[in-house]
Copies of this chain bind each other. A is one copy, B any other.
Amino acid sequence: MPDIPHDLTLEDIARMAGVSPATASRVINNRVGLRSKARERVLEVVAETGFQPHAAARSLASQRSYVMGLLIPAPASTILTHPNVLQLAEVITQACQEHEYLLSLFLMGSDADERRILPKITRKGFIDGLIVRGADDRSSDPLLATLSATGMPLVSLGRPTDLPHVSYVAADNMTAAYHAVAHLLNLGRRRIGLLVGSLEPYASQERLAGYRKGLAERGLPVDEQFIAVGGMSESSGAAQRLLQQRPDALFMPTRMAPDVLSVLHAARLRVPDDIALVGFDDLPLAQQTDPPLTTVRQPMAAMGKQLVGMLLDIVAHGAHPPRHVVFAQELVIRQSCGALSLDDRWRTAAG
């Protein structure tokens, strides 16, 4: 038989240290004065035994679980095409640790999952708060509405346009698109096309607005033929129409880069000589394309910290008033835009 380590309780630890459970608890949770014999003895015993308080008991008594949740409402296949979700998870895991919190991830691939998972996640005493990768993908998000109604402390990554009382952290897509277009204009491009997968996401609308603003500011007209909605490889008439306009620059989602490149290649267009390319999101992919892709990049680490900080604040002080924080984005200059220096790097102004 293997030697199963005896499951100690706080009472055992207290007895071994010659103090009361109350004191042991306070020591373990850093609640007593620093100069104390009792404190030292308890810490000694804890170190020796490797004691960890029972999670459920602690949660029940303190009404805190010291666990945050990150809800990823997308099937695994989607996560692969939007890999910054993973980076987000990593960053948030880190940020939680800095506050002695643990982060649990929940994958929710389908509506069926939603029905089964949500009630369990929103149970009292399970997690203290929830971060949801929200409304970047759809402008109206019933999931966030549902969650918000449960009273669970909540922060959304991405702005849920129809839920003003939900706190969120978002990237300033409008300004980022504006700066990207300005950059292309500065490089002498004049026939700049915009390619988006869909205009439903609020993020896409912001980018379109930034694009328009960039052109308008220079007094350039916006030709609707230069705005293509839908994939490049799809038989989307819009994309074809766009190419027929002979654009000298293209602003597009990074994940479409391979398709776009192969289409341009087939059309014997050289990048960036004949046509400059700028991507929306700085996916790892951007560095692997040929030529490497100039892209807009969200400050994920900072956004992750902000999300966690806000959530902790909401857990401690309630969700009112809602907090809204918008982060400026970076433009990472690589070869595809035709800028001269590789090291040249240029930031958008704070939103």
Contacts and interface: CB of A to CB of B under 8 A. Distances in A.
Contacts of A87: 76
Interface of A: 2, 4-5, 7, 52-60, 65-66, 75-77, 79-80, 83, 86-87, 89-90, 93-94, 97, 102-107, 109, 113, 116-117, 119-126, 150-151, 165, 284, 320
B7 A124 contact: yes
A13 B53 CA distance: 30
A186 B90 CA distance: 46
A97 B121 CA distance: 13
Given A89-B76, A113-B97, A124-B55, A151 B104 contact: no
A93 B104 CA distance: 13
Stoichiometry, as copies per complex, reads 2
Contacts of A150: 5
Contact of A121 (B5, B102, B121): B102
A119 B75 contact: no
Contacts of A79: 86
B124 A54 contact: yes
14 contacts: A52-B123, A54-B124, A55-B126, A58-B125, A60-B60, A75-B90, A76-B89, A79-B86, A90-B109, A93-B106, A93-B107, A93-B117, A97-B113, A102-B117
Given A56-B56, A56-B125, A320-B2, A102 B120 contact: yes
Contacts of A97: 113, 116-117
Contacts of A93: 106-107, 109, 113, 117
A151 B76 contact: no
B86 A55 contact: no
Closest 4 CB pairs of A and B: A56-B125, A56-B59, A105-B105, A55-B126
B122 A52 contact: yes
Given A59-B59, A79-B86, A80-B83, 15 more contacts: A5-B150, A52-B119, A52-B123, A54-B123, A55-B65, A55-B124, A56-B57, A57-B125, A75-B90, A76-B83, A93-B109, A94-B113, A97-B113, A102-B106, A105-B106
A284 B124 contact: no
